[in-house]
A and B are shown apart, each in its own frame.
Chain A
Amino acid sequence: MTHVIAAGRAHGWGAVDDAPRKLGPDERAQEALACGDRRGALVLLMQEYGAAIHRYCHKVLRSRPLADDVHQLVFIQAFEDLGTFSGSNGFRPWLYAIANHRCLDALKANRRWFARFVFGEEPPEEMDAAPSAETQVAARDLPEALEACLGKLKPHVRIAVVLRYQEGFSYEEMARICRERPATLQARVARAMPLLRQCLENKGVDPR
């Protein structure tokens, strides 16, 4: 926070030093919004949730350039909608909801784009029951293999697993973010677990 204080001094805002530090980022953003400072609120939100939202976009989209673009779109839309933000559930689920919808839009656009091309069929490979040595070495670490297996889930299923077990949302919050019923999301997570277990075992990782 040194740069915050230095910037405040440089602009002659002595009050920045005396600002209470006990408020959380959500409360400070709410205060900024109450003062009509949407820009200040946006900066606070970017600082607090920027990295997490970017990570979430990357986990859903599985593409770094796409995640970079969508990540910026999320905060630009957040800035536009800050005036209508009710604040009932806090900024975090609200930002994740925006990110979720923008990620799904990007996935849909990508799917449409690639649907225009006909890719040649891959040559048939001989089946080998045992995972290759390369796979075994690469997937020796369970979290690393799990991260790769998450990428093989369908986007809606992946979103449910990520929101539940990586971002730590409750099913009620997830229902608001995804605009789905909690029971639907519970079923998606439950169906994803055997798929993850199977994928891990195919990679030579036994999660026992």
Chain B
Amino acid sequence: MNTMAMCDRFERDGILQIERGQPLDPHFADCAACATAQRKYERILAALPHAEPEVQPPIGWQARVLRASDTNAEPAPRKAPASRPLAPEIAFSLGIAALLLAGGLGVGSRDVAVDVTGEPVVEPRVTVLENEPDTLLPTPEPLALAVPTGDGSENAEPPRAPRPVAPAPPRAPSRQDEPAPPPAPETRAESEARNEAKAPAPEPATNAEPIQAPSRARSYAPKIVRPAKLYGFDLKYPRMAAYERVQGEVSVQCTIRADGRNTNCRILRGLPFLDEPILQALSASRSDPITVDGRPVDNSDHIWRISITLREGNDQPATARGVPLVRWKNGI
């Protein structure tokens, strides 16, 4: 009886026979353990089609694919086989480059100057790396498609590495020139992409006045406002860093919550002795939330660039051991 319970011939041979469409061994009809195993197998087979995750493609993916395919359609490049192994050095360099360009999804940056001598904070150099609006905000209406605003600054940044999204160049008018367009069914994504392609199409300069785009071809560009200030940024400048006179620029990526908290901060580019104090100071500080069309966005990534400069000069106060005394100005 015990040997019957231990029989695993069905799982060893029976399942393979079923999968290959072969007749089952007569043993399985007599063996109770095999009959039980067969029932379990059939139950698993019945449940497998229902064991699917409920996931949907991301919003706007069709438009992104069409834009990328428009970009690729012109030169008709032949891709190298993607399965070819990449040299580790190249792969690592690409990974670092992608990390630095991580401007991609919801990431912008601000430069914040920190004067460690306690002087008033000056020169808030601002570098905005905009990203694609539709990564932040779903398309609000069926015919509106999120496109880059085209003011130059955000288009200068290449797209995030893993996403095959590229700014759509203005397409040459193709459909209009055709004498008899084939009655291919038009879909929403294609019509959106067509409207998007029509809008920036260069028109011959026959009139000095700007030509108004048709009403259906209007594009939607959400207004993204990123925080410029950190409140309560209290950096504890370590003694060793002061001794080594560490200064420079650090890049920290944080997730800004809707209430202005900076969470999940991580150093992208750090400085000796200063990484941990900067992370602590950022986590304890607050900023304005990132807003899209005036509405605060929760959990949006942001890159803070903090410039730490030691003031040079003879009036530098020093401790008895010669370490520069560091005073901090809060409220950056």
Contacts and interface: CB of A to CB of B under 8 A. Distances in A.
A127 B174 CA distance: 68
Interface stretch (B26-34, B185-193, B202-210, B291-299): B185-193
Interface string B212-235: 000010000000000000000000
Interface in A35-70: 35, 37-40, 42-44, 46-47, 50-51, 54-55, 58-59, 64, 67-69
Interface in B45-95: 45, 47-53, 55-58, 61-62, 64-66, 68-70, 72-73, 76-77, 79, 82-83, 86, 88, 91-92, 95
Nearest to A200: B44
A47 B187 contact: yes
Given A68-B58, A77-B79, A193 B15 contact: yes
A28 interface: yes
A137 interface: no
A72 B164 contact: yes
Interface stretch (B35-43, B106-114, B124-132): B35-43
A165 B36 contact: no
Interface stretch (A88-96, A104-112, A118-126): A104-112
B20 A7 contact: no
Interface residues of B, number: 65
A142 B47 contact: yes
A54 B64 CA distance: 15
A8 interface: yes
B185 to A, nearest CB: 6
Contacts of B162: 69
A208 B62 contact: no
Interface string A67-99: 111011101110110000000000000000000
A199 B24 CA distance: 25
Nearest to A74: B65
A157 to B, nearest CB: 13
Contacts, number: 191
A143 B47 contact: yes
B182 to A, nearest CB: 4
Contact of A190 (B15, B77, B186): B15
A196 B44 contact: yes
Nearest to A112: B91
Contacts of B47: 142-143, 146, 207
Given A3-B142, A196-B44, A147 B53 contact: yes
Nearest to A186: B19
A76 B15 contact: no
Given A68-B58, A186-B19, A7 B186 contact: yes
A146 B65 contact: no
A112 B57 CA distance: 26
A37 B190 CA distance: 12
A1 B104 CA distance: 34
A10 interface: yes
Contact of A42 (B69, B79, B95, B216): B69
A166 B69 contact: no
Contacts of B77: 80
A73 B56 contact: no
Contact of B68 (A40, A76, A189): A76
Nearest to B11: A194
B181 interface: yes
B72 A147 contact: no
Given A43-B66, A51-B56, A105 B82 contact: yes
B182 A37 contact: yes
B16 A43 contact: no
Given A42-B69, A166-B52, A207-B44, 12 more contacts: A8-B185, A18-B183, A19-B185, A43-B189, A44-B187, A58-B55, A79-B69, A104-B83, A112-B88, A112-B91, A147-B53, A190-B16
Q: Which 6 A-B pairs have the closest CB atoms?
A: A15-B183, A7-B191, A146-B51, A190-B16, A143-B50, A79-B69
25 contacts: A3-B142, A3-B188, A7-B186, A7-B188, A10-B191, A11-B194, A35-B182, A40-B190, A46-B189, A47-B187, A47-B189, A50-B57, A55-B55, A64-B55, A68-B61, A79-B73, A112-B91, A142-B47, A143-B51, A146-B48, A166-B48, A194-B8, A197-B40, A197-B41, A200-B44
